[in-house]
């Protein structure tokens, strides 16, 4: 009897883990989205690990200036300030004041790519079923 219970407990734990990992694998709505990076000419999977890393880097290295009402002369910036293509162009050309004056220098090329992945995944022309963006 004890053994049977042990087996059931192990099975339940196993199933719980399985269903959990599905949640993470599913975080792009079942299919992994990709971003073609013009600088490196590679295709990047928009997975949780790089978009989450990008989100944190964006919050600490971009939003530190680009928040509403800041005194650094930076315009308010949000993920939907640019289209998917617009974000790619920004990180490819780096032709904005802060990129030129060294404010991006703390971030490595790989980190900038993660920020690009994050912003791309939430850009103006992406569709999020949890938001009302597409309702006009
Ligand atoms: C030290 C402060 C600072 C940091 C950090 C910073 N910026 Fe800027 N950024 C500025 C200023 C100042 C301007 C010029 C004023 C403007 O156009 O907003 C600017 C301009 C821009 C513009 C053009 C403005 C627009 O709305 O078209 C974009 C896009 C931009 N930054 C993105 C970023 C991104 C992405 C990061 C992080 C990788 C970043 N910035 C980090 C200060 C900063």
8 and 56 within one domain: no
Residue-wise pLDDT for 68-109, tens only, equals: 999 999 999 999 999 999 999 999 999 999 999 999 999 999
58 CA: nearest ligand 1 atom: 37
78 and 25 within one domain: no
4 and 55 within one domain: no
Calculate the average pLDDT of the chain.
86
Token reading at 11 = 């099975």
Residue-wise pLDDT for 28-45, tens only, equals: 455 789 999 998 999 999
Give the number of residues written for the chain: 136
118 and 62 within one domain: yes
Q: Residue 10 is part of which domain span?
A: 1-29
Pocket of ligand 1 (CB under 6 A): 61-62, 64-66, 72-75, 77, 81, 90, 96-98, 103-104, 115
Query: CB neighbours (10 Å) of residue 134?
Result: 8
36 and 15 within one domain: no
| N-term to C-term CA, the chain | 61
Q: What predicted TM-score, i.e. pTM, was given to this entire model?
A: 0.80
DSSP assignment of 34-103, as one string?
EEEETTTTEEEE--HHHHHHHHHHHHHHTTTTSSTT-SSSPPP--GGGS-HHHHHHHHHH--SHHHHTTT
């Amino acid at each position: 009897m004890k053994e049977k219970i042990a087996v059931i407990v192990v099975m339940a734990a196993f199933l719980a883990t399985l269903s959990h990992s599905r949640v993470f694998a599913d975080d792009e709505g079942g299919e992994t989205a990709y971003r073609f990076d013009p600088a490196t000419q590679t295709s990047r999977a928009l997975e949780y690990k790089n978009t989450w890393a990008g989100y944190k880097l964006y919050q600490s290295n971009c939003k530190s200036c680009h928040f509403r009402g800041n005194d650094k002369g930076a315009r308010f910036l949000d993920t939907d300030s640019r289209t998917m293509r617009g974000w790619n162009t920004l990180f490819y050309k780096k032709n904005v004041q802060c990129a030129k004056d060294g404010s991006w220098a703390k971030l490595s090329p790989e980190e900038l790519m993660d920020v690009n992945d994050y912003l791309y995944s939430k850009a103006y022309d992406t569709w999020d079923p949890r938001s009302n963006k597409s309702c006009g």
